[in-house]
Structure 1
Amino acid sequence: MNRLLVAVLAAVDAVVAAVIGLGVVLVPLVLGWFTAFSGADWASLWPTGARIWQLGNLVPLHLSLDDLFVASSGVAADAAGFVVSLAPLALAGFVLLFAARSGRRAARAGAWIVGVVSGTVVTCAIATVVLMTSGTPVVSVASWQAILFPTALYLGGALVGAVTTAWGDGDDGAIDALHDRVDALSPAWRAVPALAVRGTAIALVGLIGLGGLALLASVITRGGEMITLFEAAQVDAVGATGLTFAHLAYLPTLLVWAISWVAGPGFAVGTATAVAPSTVDLGVVPSLPLLGLLPEQGSPFLLLVMLAPVAVGALAALSLRGMLAQEWRAEGMLGDDAEPFLPRIALAASVAVLTAGTAALLAVMASGSMGPGRLVDVGPSAGPVALAVGLEVLLGAAIVLLSPRMRRSEELDA
C-alpha cells in the first residue's frame, strides 16, 4: 500500500478515536444540559467535556472552587483546591485498542512506522487543540500533561499493535533485522523471546479473568449495598443515567483493583487505608455506589486466593512447554537428551518480569487522587503489585517449565 495512503488512513484513525472519545463524553452532557441544566451557561459545556476526556486520557485535573461557593456550601477552606487524577480507564482502554488496530493495519500494509508516526502526530495536534480551546478557571490542567499523556497513550497502543504484527508478517526493516538476530541464536534459545511474549499475554489474560471473577463475586455478595447507596443519592432519571455511565467508565479501574486484591497487596481508598484479602481497614469512604462493592472485612483464609495467580503462571507455562518442546524437537534436540535447563529458567523469569511490569503499569493507571484530604491516595501501589504478581507467576511458571519432561508413549515403548 502507498505510504501516503497509510499515513492518511492512520491520521483518520486518530481523528476517529478522538471524536468517539469526545462524543461519548459530550453526548450525555448535552442531554443533561437540555433536560436538567437548561439554565446553565452553554459556554461551559465544551470545557467540561474536554476536561473529562483529558481525565480519561490520564491527565490530572486541578480543581479550584470559587470562594463564594466554598463559603455558601460549608466546604472546608483547605478543600477548596485539590487534584483529581483517578482516571476512568474505559476511555483509556478504548484509545489503546483503537490505536493497536490502526498500528496492525499499518504493519500489514508494510509501512508501520509511517502509520504510527502519522497517528501519533495527529493525536498530539488534537490534544493541543482541545487544551487551547477548553480554558476554565475552575478546572485546570498542566499544559505539558494535557498534550503528552493522550499522545503517549495512543503511541503505546499503536506501537504494540504494529510491532507484534510486523514480527509475524515481516516489515523489510528494523523488525526483520531484529528477527534475524533472534534466528541467529543457538537452537536452544531461538524460540525463547517470542514464547516469553506469548506467555506474558496468556498470563495477563488469566489475571484479567481472575479480576473479573473477583469483581463478579463482589457484585453478588455486596450488590445490595451498592443499590442502597445508589438509592441514597436521590437523583432523578437524568442523574441516575449519568451516574450509571460514570460507573461503567470506572469499571476497568475497579477491575485493576480486583487484580491487585487477588495478587495480595490490595489497594487503598484513602491515606492509611487498605483493602486486601487478609485485612480491610477503610474508615470513612465517599458514598459512591461503586464503592459499596468494597468488602467489609478480610480473613486469613482469603489469602488462598493468592494461589490463583500461581495457577495462571502454571497455565501459561504449560502452553509454552509444549511449544518449546515442539521447537526443540524440530531442531533434533529432544532425542534421548534432557531439555536444556537455562533456556527454561530464562523463559520462566522473562514471563514473570514482563507480567509484573505490565501489572505495575496497570496499577499506576488505576491509582491517583479523587479528592482532597485522605482521598489523595486511592488505588493499588505499583511496587507491591509488581513484586507479588512477578513472584506468583514465576512460581507457577517455574513449577511447570523446570519439572522433568514426561516421555512420549512411543519413547517408552522403545
Structure 2
Amino acid sequence: MNRLLVSLLAAVDALVTVAVGVGVVLAPVTLVWVFGVSGDADWAALWPAAATIWQLGHFAPVAVSLPAELVALGGLPSGAADFTVSLAPTLLAVFTAISAWRSGSRAARSGAWLTGVAAGTVAVAVLSTIIALTGRTGVAAVDLGAAVAGPTLVFAVPALLGALVRAWSEGDDGIVDAVSERLPDDVQNAVDAGARGIVMAAAGIVGLGALVLAVLFFVRGGEVISLTQAAQVDLPGVIVLALGSLFYLPTLVVWFAGFAVGPGFAIGSGTAVSPAATSLGVVPGIPVLGVIPDSTSPWLLLLALAVVGLGVVAGSVARASLLVGSTADAEPLRPRLVALGVTVVGTGLVVGVFAGAARGSIGPGRLAEVGPEPWLVALVAAVEVGVGAAVMLLSPRRADSDRPAAASVPRDAPAVSTPATPTSTAQTRRESAGAVSPDEFPTAPLD
C-alpha cells in the first residue's frame, strides 16, 4: 500500500482514538451540567474539566490548588490546599492502548509499519498539544510537557509493539526480517513460544485480580452502599461516583492482581493490603474503596499457588508451541531455556508496567503513595510464574522408550537421498499467515 495512504489512515486512527476518549469524558460531564448545575453556569467551562480528566487518564499528573474559602469550609489543614493527583483512571489509557495496537498492526499488514506508527504518534502529539493549550484551568493545572508526552507515549508504545508483533509473525521484508534471519531457527521458535507464554501468564494474573475484586464486591457490597449513602449526593452525584468507579476499574483490578501475587498494595504511606497482613489507617470515604478488606487471613497466601499454576499453564502453552524436531531425537535444551527466559522476563516486565500504571497520588500527605510497588510485584510475579513454567519446560516430556520407533529399513535397500530446500522461518511465517510463497510462481526466462 502507498506510504502516504498508510500515513493518512494512521492519522485518522489517532484522531478517532483521541476524539472518542475525550468524548467519553465530556458526555457525562455535560449530563452533570444539564441536570445538576444551574443554568447560569457556562458550558464552555466544562471543556477544561474534561480535558484535565483525559490527561490524567493518560498519566499526566494534575497539580490541584484549592481556594482558601474551600479549605476553610472543609476544615482542611492549610498544607492540604496544594497537592498532586497522579493516580490515573486507567480505563482511558486502556482504550487508547488497544486502539493504538490495532492501528500499528494494520500499518504492518499494509507493509509500512514504521510510517504508520510515526504518523499516528505525530497526530496524537499534535492533538494532545491542542487539548493542553485550550483546556487549562486555574484550580487543576497540568504541565504542558506531561500533557503532551503522556497521551503520545500511551499511543506510540502499543502501536509500535502491535506493528512489531505483526511484522515478526508475518514478515515485513525489512528490518524485522533482517533481524529474525540472523537468529537460529530454534531460537526464533523459542521466542514465539515464550511470547505465547507471556500472554497466557499476564492475562491469567489480571484475570485472577479481577476474580478477587469480584468476590470482594459480593462480600463487601454492603460497605460500598453504606459509603455511597453517607456521601449524601443527589442523582448527578451518584452518576459521577459510578462513572469514576468505572474509569478506575482497571486500576482496582491491578491492585488486587498485586494482592494475589503476594506483595499487595498500599492506601497511603505506611499502609499495606496483602494476604500476609493488612494495616490500614484512615481510608478516604470513596465508595468503591469499601471493597478493601479490614483484615485478611493467612490462607489467602495460597493465591500465590494459583499464580504458580498460571506459570504451569504458560509453560505448557510455550512447550506445545516449540518445534523440537523428530520424536526419535532427544529434545533440545536451548529452545526450552530461551522460551523459559522470555516467558519469565516478559511476564515480569508486563506486570511491572501494569503495577506502575496503577500507582500514584490521590491527595495530600499520606495519600501521596497509593497502589502496588511495581518492582516488587514484578519480581514476585516473575519468580512464581518462572517456577511453574520451569516445571513444564525443563521436565522430561516422556521417556525415550515411550517414543514411537522409527520405521525399520532393510540394510540392503538402496539409499535414496532427497535434496532439501532450505526455508527460512520468516518465509514459513508468511506462508502460515496466508501469504503465497514465491516458489509457487513459475519463472520465465527474460528476453
The residue number in structure 1 matching 2:56 is 55
Relative distance call for 1:205 and 1:72 in structure 2 (3 A) is: closer
The residue number in structure 2 matching 1:251 is 249
The residue number in structure 2 matching 1:18 is 18
Write the deviation string for residues 226-260 of structure 1: whole angstroms up to 9, x where unpaired: 11111222211111112111100100000000110
Q: Distance in 2 between the 1:407 and 1:270 partners?
A: 54
**1:177, CA displacement in angstroms?**
1.0
Relative distance call for 1:190 and 1:94 in structure 2 (3 A) is: closer
Q: Does 1:335 align with 2:333?
A: no
2:387 is aligned, of 395, 405, 408, to 395
Q: Distance in 1 between the 2:268 and 2:304 partners?
A: 24
**1:209, CA displacement in angstroms?**
1.4
Write the deviation string for residues 255-282 of structure 1: whole angstroms up to 9, x where unpaired: 0001100000000001100000111111
Relative distance call for 1:288 and 1:406 in structure 2 (3 A) is: same
Q: Please say which of residues 256-265 and 33-42 is displaced more in the overlay.
A: 33-42
More helix by share: 1
Write the deviation string for residues 91-145 of structure 1: whole angstroms up to 9, x where unpaired: 0000000111111111111111111111100000011101111121211112211
Superposed counterparts of 1:206-285, under 5 Å:
206-285=204-283
The residue number in structure 2 matching 1:28 is 28
**1:71, CA displacement in angstroms?**
2.8
Q: Does 1:119 align with 2:111?
A: no
Q: Distance in 1 between the 2:403 and 2:95 partners?
A: 50
The residue number in structure 1 matching 2:396 is 404
User: Normalization by structure 2: what TM-score?
Assistant: 0.88
User: Normalization by structure 1: what TM-score?
Assistant: 0.94
Q: Distance in 2 between the 1:144 and 1:28 partners?
A: 27
**1:188, CA displacement in angstroms?**
4.2
CA contact (8 A) 2:275 2:298 kept: yes
Q: Distance in 2 between the 1:359 and 1:219 partners?
A: 23
Q: Does 1:95 align with 2:96?
A: yes
Q: Please say which of residues 85-94 and 345-354 is displaced more in the overlay.
A: 345-354
> Equivalent residue of 2:220, what SS?
helix
Q: Does 1:3 align with 2:24?
A: no
Relative distance call for 1:297 and 1:191 in structure 2 (3 A) is: same
**1:44, CA displacement in angstroms?**
2.2
The residue number in structure 1 matching 2:201 is 203
Q: Distance in 1 between the 2:371 and 2:121 partners?
A: 29
Letter in 2 for 1:14: A
Relative distance call for 1:408 and 1:237 in structure 2 (3 A) is: farther
> Equivalent residue of 2:352, what SS?
helix
Write the deviation string for residues 11-60 of structure 1: whole angstroms up to 9, x where unpaired: 01111111101101111111111111123343421111100000011111
**1:410, CA displacement in angstroms?**
6.5
Identity %: 45
> Equivalent residue of 2:111, what SS?
coil
**1:74, CA displacement in angstroms?**
2.2
The residue number in structure 2 matching 1:69 is 70
CA contact (8 A) 1:368 1:377 kept: yes
CA contact (8 A) 1:277 1:300 kept: yes
CA contact (8 A) 1:188 1:340 kept: no
> Equivalent residue of 1:284, what SS?
coil
Relative distance call for 1:408 and 1:23 in structure 2 (3 A) is: farther
> Equivalent residue of 1:82, what SS?
strand
Q: Does 1:154 align with 2:152?
A: no
Q: Distance in 2 between the 1:145 and 1:301 partners?
A: 43
Q: Does 1:300 align with 2:293?
A: no
CA contact (8 A) 1:88 1:250 kept: yes
**1:388, CA displacement in angstroms?**
0.5
Q: Distance in 2 between the 1:114 and 1:238 partners?
A: 45
**1:412, CA displacement in angstroms?**
5.9
Letter in 2 for 1:259: A
Q: Distance in 2 between the 1:328 and 1:306 partners?
A: 31
> Equivalent residue of 1:355, what SS?
helix
The Cα RMSD (Å) is: 1.6
> Equivalent residue of 2:63, what SS?
strand
CA contact (8 A) 2:136 2:142 kept: no
What 5-or-longer segments of structure 1 have no aligned partner? none
Q: Does 1:136 align with 2:137?
A: yes
CA contact (8 A) 1:89 1:250 kept: yes
> Equivalent residue of 1:404, what SS?
coil
What 5-or-longer segments of structure 2 have no aligned partner? 407-447
Bigger radius of gyration, 1 or 2? Answer: 2
Write the deviation string for residues 268-316 of structure 1: whole angstroms up to 9, x where unpaired: 0011000001111111101111101001212222111111111111101
CA contact (8 A) 2:328 2:405 kept: no
